Structure 1
Amino acid sequence: LGELVIGGAGVARGYLNRAELTAEKFVDSPFVAGERLYRTGDLARWMKDGNVDFIGRIDNQAKIRGYRIETGEIESQLLQVAGVREAVVLVRSDASGQKTLCAYYTPDAETDLAVNDLRSALVQELPGYMIPSYFVELEHLPLTPNGKVDRKALPSPEGEAGSGTEYVAPRNKLEAKLAAIWQDVLGHAKQIGVYDNFFDIGGHSLRATTLAGKVFKEFNVNLPLRDVFRHSTIASMAEVMARMERQEHEVIPQAEERECYPLSSAQKRLFIQHTLDGADQLYNMPELVQMEGHFDVERFEAAMRKLIIRHESLRTGFEIVKGEAVQRIYSQVDFAVEHHHPEDAAQIEQIIRSFVRPFDLGKPPLLRTGVIELGPDLHILLFDMHHIVSDGVSMAIVMHEFSSFYAGEELPPLRIQYKDYAVWQQSKAHLERIGQQEAYWLQTFEGELPTADLPTDYERSAVRSYQGAHLDFDVEASLSARLRELAAQRESTLFMVLLAAYTVLLSKYSGHEDLIVGTPVAARTNTDLEPIIGMFVNTLALRNRPSGNKTFLSYLDEVKETALGAFENQDYPFEELVERLNVKREPGRFPLFDAVFDMQNIEERDAELEGIRLKNYELDQLEEAKFDLTLFIYENNGSLSGGFFYATKLFKETMIRTLTEDYLRILTQIAENPQLELNRIECHKPSEGAKRVVDTIEFAF
């Protein structure tokens, strides 16, 4: 056995004016005369095969998420809390194998200590990364025969004792109403306590936006999105809301009946895009579902007809009237389910490929459905809609309401329709609010606009090509857990951590430290829009500056602020921004940015059909790339997976594979050491002229 030491020329010099501490912590180097080695406090043994076997610590110092932590310092702060008699802090491994801090304490006689009071006391004195994840109360601490604390005998923090937050019921009407809104937004069946953290129990950026909207509608209080992050417990949120001025919820009125209606800003973008060469299928939204069990095709068609009657957007056509693009609502449309009876597997593939075809925007409905019968109790459901009348949230509404109609249920009528939203977008009150948001975006993009061209395998053509492909990847469970810890530590979200890492990757490849990345948002900030099928998605242009001298943690804080500002001003149409900035349109590329980050956290609702088992039907199809490069990430039962969509006229698969490896490498490096400077983060492809830095080995005998 031996103690690990580190050193190197100019590294281990000692403590300034503290000779005793220097003598305690440093030893003379047996390798280089005149040099010193630092005693790390790690206990290890050198194996016969040359490897080092790490045993543990000779002191109570630990390294968690890149931070060196003295657990004794946490224990000292705990002992200063009134009512705490004894305290011990250990580093333990959780179910995913990640290191966490666990505090064990004994209270004074007849003293009732609340976990949240302990945490609050520590937060006042210690940084976030030193706050234990678990607090376990014991009657007494276990001792060894010689009277020292037996750390090995301390129990694992399991069950309620180690949950970290005890349930505290709402204490007034405001907290009770907030708890109900939280349960609705988060989809929780169990009760939520006033000290539960929104982002610890399933909250993310999309849900935070929804929460702010519901709070505004229920309380007439404009809760900024950043306040959801700052005050992420019901108790704290209720306290800050009590001091806010009341405002009237802006109700979207029903538009007066007319022959044609204006397009929304999102519809205008897609209408123009649809007319471009090669883009007539770019915004199709196909879905394929395999169904096992008794499926009633006539019942299915009747349910779809009810859905079309219920939502005007499914009876809407688009045309040019007096030089303006408009939408026209039809009272009736021709609709029929396509029936197919294939003879073999090859014919199934042919049917599916021919099913996904261009829509005529002037002839509603802009959706089609089909059924492939493979057997009496085996079918494939084909579904396709045009993006101009639908988005990701709308698809979830379609599946939910279709299944309700299929089950014979009735749904309450809708108060407003999509056309009402399009007319409201042009109202004076809405334009005034958009004008206020415009100031934020113009300030964000003042000065010279950055261009961060990625190196490509092929020269860019003046004619835009939408031919694309994708390459998938998975993020290891342990790495996913560490990234979530990192997000929680900085009071941010996984979206922000992954976006920050993506911009670092793009900076390494392009050699630029001023970047714009696009990201789509649901843009349903008004709660009146929740049940409406239609196209609401807006694109946000996020401008970040991943300068090499910044640590990842400091850069993450910047990305967080940029994202919060953008989300709070997400109603301002991207098309308006491009026009106001007078962005030069270049043939063959998207204005303002070429790279996109898309984290899929749409609240999907599984369709349930009685006696039928549903599962997605996968089939490789010709893929289309709307942008040069898109990173998409999915969350699934706590695990992360994703991939890159890329334009095959610009990139080879080999480059995208390298890009994927580098992104995962960056995620690993920032999870292991969040304080790492950006210029020390390594890739296969460093930026031009950048010096490739090899991390110093942490120890040597």
Structure 2
Amino acid sequence: MNDALATRLAALGPEQRARLRAALPQQRPDSGELTPGQLRLWQVHHQVEGRPVDVVCQAVRLSGAPVDLGLLAERVRGFVTAHEALRTTFETSGDGTVRRVVHRELAPRLSRIRCADEAEAHAAAGRLAAEPFDLATGPLLRVALAEGPAAGLAWVLVAVHNLVFDAWSFELLLDELARETATPAPSRPFGSFVHDQASWLRGPDGRAGAAHWAAETADAPAPLPTDRPRDGRTRRTGKRIGFTLPASVADAVAASAKKEAATAYTGWLAVAWAAFAEFGGSEDTLLGTFTTGRNRPGTETVVGYLLNVLPVRLRDSGTGSHRDRVRAVRTATRAGLKHASYPGELIDAGRRVAGTHPLLDAVFVFDNLGADERRIQGAHVTTTDLDKGTARFDLTLAVYPGPDGVAGWLEFDTGLYDEATVRRLAERFTALAHTVAQEADQ
């Protein structure tokens, strides 16, 4: 501290000192407590015997320009240094309590390999994810930097446990790899989010959230029918049925939503509702939906598992038209948006699903985080979320919009569903989307 600053501080009165302390950021001790979402993931990890149910597995294809894989390795290491979540392990005490342990240093598992083609790269990423993660020792981030058969082709293969990482975190990692300057992006520790979330839950907004979601899930419909009974002992072996839809259909769904002052997400959720309502035999449908968990100031720079899975209750479809469904979805999601910070694991609902989530059996995913074109060292970036042969929920319907239309998949638990059943559901979803486009043309 220089003399001038010391003199000025010494001259401050008690009230001025108090105001200064209040304005300065406080370094709070980290209790190591897990968020409700993390606690569920920890329990699932042990329930499925370490299989990669809650593991992010992404293949990042870099094409069109040579890249310096050594520099990318440095960026990965720097990213881990900057974000405490990636230097975290989990320990269990004698009474069964789980806590986070943040290490000053915990290097990621980083390797260099060669891949002859896309299939070989994807297979290598799958092996990274399939090897069981030791939550007590870590590291929980694995990255393989793969040279391709030519100078203008390479891959960054990422496998990381969801306990310390989510889809938004992946985008922050890509931002770091693409950064041109030597100065790292600003970051905020995950522990501060845990503290703030706990404080928020104890306050009036937390209580309002609890009341909202309890009312929203009251007398909720039964879970969707399955080909085999739910017994809660599933290993979550899964499979995906992929589908694509042309840009004309994607544009029509987005345009139909825009006419009702709604987003493309709302339009696609309305299509999903129609498909699941037919499948379950009831308009009253309860689906899970993901929120980023980053709606409070400062959380946009936090790496970790902030993702929140919340229910959306869809009941009154009016005439059953797509327009009426969009309006109903818009109303339900806007009401829920006010309480999106409330952890889905804490919702007090009478319905319980035997499986890996206490409330939800079917989930809708709309992911447009990577829709914008991105380049790393001049190379074009293409990301692929890889099928790990697992199922996080009984059914997960994912929609990924892009410049050429929509790619997506319907993931299912093979212990509960036959492939033919799920294929019919996927075909019905795409048929309903085509119907929206046909009605728009008329």
Could you state the TM-score of these two structures normalised by the residue count of structure 1? 0.54
For the pair 1:272 / 2:39, whether they are aligned, the reply is no
Gaps of 5+ in 2: 1-22
Gaps of 5+ in 1: 1-250, 675-701
Question: 2:92: which partner in 1?
Answer: 320
Q: Which SS does the other structure have where 1:363 is aligned?
A: coil
Alignment equivalent of 1:520, drawn from 290, 300, 304: 290
CA distance in 1, matches of 2:438, 2:150: 54
CA distance in 2, matches of 1:379, 1:344: 9
CA distance in 1, matches of 2:392, 2:406: 23
TM-aligned CA deviation for residue 552 of structure 1: 4.1
Question: 1:230: which partner in 2?
Answer: none
Alignment equivalent of 1:299, drawn from 71, 82, 92: 71
For 2:428, the aligned partner's letter is D
Q: Is the 8 A contact 1:400 1:606 kept in 2?
A: no
For the pair 1:453 / 2:220, whether they are aligned, the reply is no
Q: Is the 8 A contact 1:598 1:630 kept in 2?
A: yes
CA distance in 2, matches of 1:619, 1:638: 17
C-alpha change, 1:319 and 1:505, in structure 2 (3 Å) is same
C-alpha change, 1:489 and 1:303, in structure 2 (3 Å) is closer
For the pair 1:398 / 2:398, whether they are aligned, the reply is no
Alignment equivalent of 1:597, drawn from 364, 373, 377: 364
Aligned residues: 416
CA distance in 2, matches of 1:629, 1:429: 30
What do residues 180-205 of structure 1 show as CA deviations (whole Å, max 9, x unaligned)?
xxxxxxxxxxxxxxxxxxxxxxxxxx
Question: 1:666: which partner in 2?
Answer: 432
What do residues 554-590 of structure 1 show as CA deviations (whole Å, max 9, x unaligned)?
343222111111122111111110xx2254453x464
Q: Is the 8 A contact 2:114 2:147 kept in 1?
A: yes
For the pair 1:509 / 2:279, whether they are aligned, the reply is yes
TM-aligned CA deviation for residue 602 of structure 1: 1.9
Q: Is the 8 A contact 1:400 1:605 kept in 2?
A: no
What do residues 508-538 of structure 1 show as CA deviations (whole Å, max 9, x unaligned)?
2222232111111112111211111111111
What do residues 274-322 of structure 1 show as CA deviations (whole Å, max 9, x unaligned)?
1112453111112223445544443333222221111111111111235
Q: Rg: which structure is higher?
A: 1
C-alpha change, 1:631 and 1:344, in structure 2 (3 Å) is closer
Q: Is the 8 A contact 1:399 1:606 kept in 2?
A: no
- The CA RMSD over aligned residues, in Å, is 3.3
For 2:41, the aligned partner's letter is L
For the pair 1:371 / 2:145, whether they are aligned, the reply is yes
Alignment equivalent of 1:289, drawn from 41, 60, 67: 60
CA distance in 2, matches of 1:619, 1:573: 25
TM-aligned CA deviation for residue 253 of structure 1: 5.7
Question: 1:541: which partner in 2?
Answer: 311
TM-aligned CA deviation for residue 617 of structure 1: 7.7
For 1:645, the aligned partner's letter is E
C-alpha change, 1:409 and 1:511, in structure 2 (3 Å) is same
C-alpha change, 1:254 and 1:312, in structure 2 (3 Å) is farther
Q: Which SS does the other structure have where 1:314 is aligned?
A: helix
For 1:392, the aligned partner's letter is A
Q: Which SS does the other structure have where 1:275 is aligned?
A: helix
What do residues 153-178 of structure 1 show as CA deviations (whole Å, max 9, x unaligned)?
xxxxxxxxxxxxxxxxxxxxxxxxxx
C-alpha change, 1:298 and 1:633, in structure 2 (3 Å) is closer
Q: Which SS does the other structure have where 1:337 is aligned?
A: strand
Question: 2:110: which partner in 1?
Answer: 337
Q: Is the 8 A contact 1:424 1:430 kept in 2?
A: no
For 1:624, the aligned partner's letter is T
Q: Is the 8 A contact 2:117 2:149 kept in 1?
A: no
C-alpha change, 1:361 and 1:255, in structure 2 (3 Å) is farther
Q: Is the 8 A contact 1:255 1:419 kept in 2?
A: no
Question: 2:193: which partner in 1?
Answer: 421
Q: Is the 8 A contact 2:313 2:332 kept in 1?
A: yes
C-alpha change, 1:461 and 1:439, in structure 2 (3 Å) is closer
TM-aligned CA deviation for residue 594 of structure 1: 1.7
CA distance in 1, matches of 2:438, 2:117: 52
CA distance in 2, matches of 1:282, 1:546: 34
TM-aligned CA deviation for residue 417 of structure 1: 1.0
Fraction of identical pairs, as percent: 23
Alignment equivalent of 2:34, drawn from 257, 263, 274: 263
Counterparts of 1:102-141 in structure 2 under 5 Å?
none
Question: 2:133: which partner in 1?
Answer: 359
Q: Is the 8 A contact 2:144 2:156 kept in 1?
A: yes
CA distance in 2, matches of 1:354, 1:428: 40
Q: Is the 8 A contact 2:220 2:350 kept in 1?
A: no
CA distance in 2, matches of 1:277, 1:385: 17
Between the two structures, name the one with larger relative contact order (CA 8 Å, sep ≥ 6): 2
Question: 2:10: which partner in 1?
Answer: none
CA distance in 2, matches of 1:376, 1:553: 50
What do residues 225-281 of structure 1 show as CA deviations (whole Å, max 9, x unaligned)?
xxxxxxxxxxxxxxxxxxxxxxxxxx99644235x5211222222122211124531
Q: Which SS does the other structure have where 1:425 is aligned?
A: helix
C-alpha change, 1:561 and 1:349, in structure 2 (3 Å) is closer
TM-aligned CA deviation for residue 482 of structure 1: 2.9
TM-aligned CA deviation for residue 597 of structure 1: 1.0
Q: Is the 8 A contact 1:263 1:326 kept in 2?
A: yes
What do residues 300-346 of structure 1 show as CA deviations (whole Å, max 9, x unaligned)?
33222221111111111111235322111111124452233579999
Question: 2:206: which partner in 1?
Answer: 434
For 1:380, the aligned partner's letter is W
TM-aligned CA deviation for residue 473 of structure 1: 2.0
Q: Which SS does the other structure have where 2:143 is aligned?
A: strand
Q: Is the 8 A contact 2:77 2:107 kept in 1?
A: no
C-alpha change, 1:424 and 1:397, in structure 2 (3 Å) is same
For the pair 1:634 / 2:400, whether they are aligned, the reply is yes
Q: Which SS does the other structure have where 2:156 is aligned?
A: strand
CA distance in 1, matches of 2:320, 2:59: 46
CA distance in 2, matches of 1:508, 1:550: 11
CA distance in 1, matches of 2:319, 2:371: 41
Question: 1:644: which partner in 2?
Answer: 410
CA distance in 2, matches of 1:272, 1:656: 27
